[in-house]
Amino acid sequence: MKLKDTGLTKTELKALVDTYMIDTYERFDMIAETAKDMYIYNENGEGYLDFYAGVAVNSTGNGNEKVIAAVEDQLKDVMHTFNYPYTIPQALLAKKVCTTIGMDKIFFQNTGTESNEAMIKMARKYGVEKYGPHKYNIVTAFDGFHGRTYGSMSATGQPDNGCQIGFKPMIPGFTYAKFNDLNAFKAAVTENTIAIMIEPVQGEGGVYPASMEFMKGLRELCDEKGLLLLLDEIQTGWCRTGAIMSYMNYGIKPDIVSMAKALGGGMPIGAICASAEVAAAFTPGSHGTTFGGHPVSCAAALAEVDELLEKNLAENSRKMGSYFMNKLEKLPHIREVRGQGLLVGIEFDKHIDAADIKHEAFERHLLITAIGSHIIRMVPPLILTKSDCDKAFEILYKCVESVAGTNTELRCG
């Protein structure tokens, strides 16, 4: 739908949002009217280089034609049913996902936070049924982020400065330990612990990849103690980090892995995959969802996964991520550039406010996001080219120069 088709002005449309919608987002001053490949276009047809990708969703590019065609075809057949009858896209997607990432079983959800809820529930049910009612505790990482429903929010290790504020008390049964500190996780494990749950790369926590030693050590710890390793790959999964799933970068395998975002190519879908033994904890009636495994979302996901694999976008993510991060090291006022594949973070020194960079970038038609005071995060479509990287770098360089030029402390120094 185009703005001209509504009979409204931009000001009037924004007024509708202000009047009727609950305000939880800081919005850019643009109407996202159309999108294609690496660009989103506003109501005037002006293009914005998209290094946001719907928050790591549109991995095969905005408006991927094969994904759109799959959605259109499925809409003509069955738009929605429930999970009592078999549906063709769901069955085909189940096989495609499990065989591609080497897991046994899958359960479809609608979103990332729902997928993490399902992962938590499965781990606890498995622990209680196998070991007894005391075996329910899950150790997660400080500064991690797992979602905004109560189970996933309780798993999020931000008790004093994050999404838990104003919503306490949290659900009991979660313990937090320092990310990338294997000894801290070992110390947090007790006789009540059933699982360890982390992100391979902490996204909202500042774009911190797990070290090889830490990830392999967690797998060994879980094997030694009879614990489950739960990996939240909502943001890192499906070629974002230079491998199909981030855990493949470490040569390990989880007991349960959650996914969403890039899986659907723009349509809402999430899932958990598990080993056959652990998946057996879910039996008829123990868990369910009205829209999970939606035929249209599954059709979109099937096309998206095919595109990711056929175009070898994991390899492109690895190559372009390395190229882009090397360029970003040349920006002024940098403390650190870090990431994995095309999940990229820049931490600036104390003189540069990340929000200022984000807004300055928007004015120069580059879409990025800020994390905290001094970190920006970029998760572009995985069809990214060197030319796109070069253009983004040039814009960011001008943004840093502009923001630094308005900093009184720098000017006086």
**Token pair belonging to 124:** 């606890």
CA 262/CA 239 separation, integer angstroms: 9
Residue 99 and residue 117: Cα distance in Å, rounded? 24
**Burial status of residue 234 (CB atoms within 10 A of its CB: 0-12, 13-18, 19 or more):** buried
End-to-end CA distance of the chain: 51
Torsions phi, psi of 16, nearest 5?
Answer: -60, -45
Interval 84-100: pLDDT, tens: 999 999 999 999 999 99
Answer yes or no: is 108 within a domain.
Answer: yes
Domain count, the chain: 1
154 in a structural domain: yes
**Contact 257/103 with Cβ under 8 angstroms?**
yes
> Does a structural domain hold residue 30?
no
Kindly report, residue by residue over 332-372, the tens digit of the pLDDT.
999 999 999 999 999 999 999 999 999 999 999 999 999 98
Residue corresponding to tokens 């005391």 = 134
Q: For residues 398 and 312, what is the distance between their CA atoms, to the nearest angstrom?
A: 33
- Is 382 inside any structural domain? no
- 377: in domain: no
Domain assignment of residue 238, yes or no: yes
d(C-alpha 51, C-alpha 137), whole Å = 37
Tens-place pLDDT, residues 115-135: 999 999 999 999 999 999 999
Query: How high is the mean pLDDT of the chain?
Result: 96
Residue 288 lies in a domain: yes
Task: Print the domain residue range for 204.
Answer: 65-311
Is 385 in contact with 320 (CB distance < 8 Å)? yes
Tokens representing 351 are 């003189």
Angle at 13 between CA 8 and CA 19, to 5 degrees: 130
Q: What is the CATH number of the domain that holds 265?
A: 3.40.640.10
* Beta-sheet pairing, 270-274 with 256-259: antiparallel
Report pLDDT digits (tens) over 158-183: 988 778 999 999 999 999 999 999 99
Q: What is the pTM of this model?
A: 0.96
Residue 106: closest CA among 96, 58, 163, 62: 96
Helices and strands (H, E) in the chain, number of each type: 15, 17
Average the pLDDT over each of 60-69, 129-138, 161-170, 300-309 and give the range with the smallest value: 161-170
Confidence of residue 406 (pLDDT cuts 50, 70, 90): confident
Residue 370 covered by a domain: no
CA distance 30 to 359: 12
Specify whether the CB–CB gap between 83 and 282 falls below 8 A: no
- In the chain, the amino acid numbered 77 is D
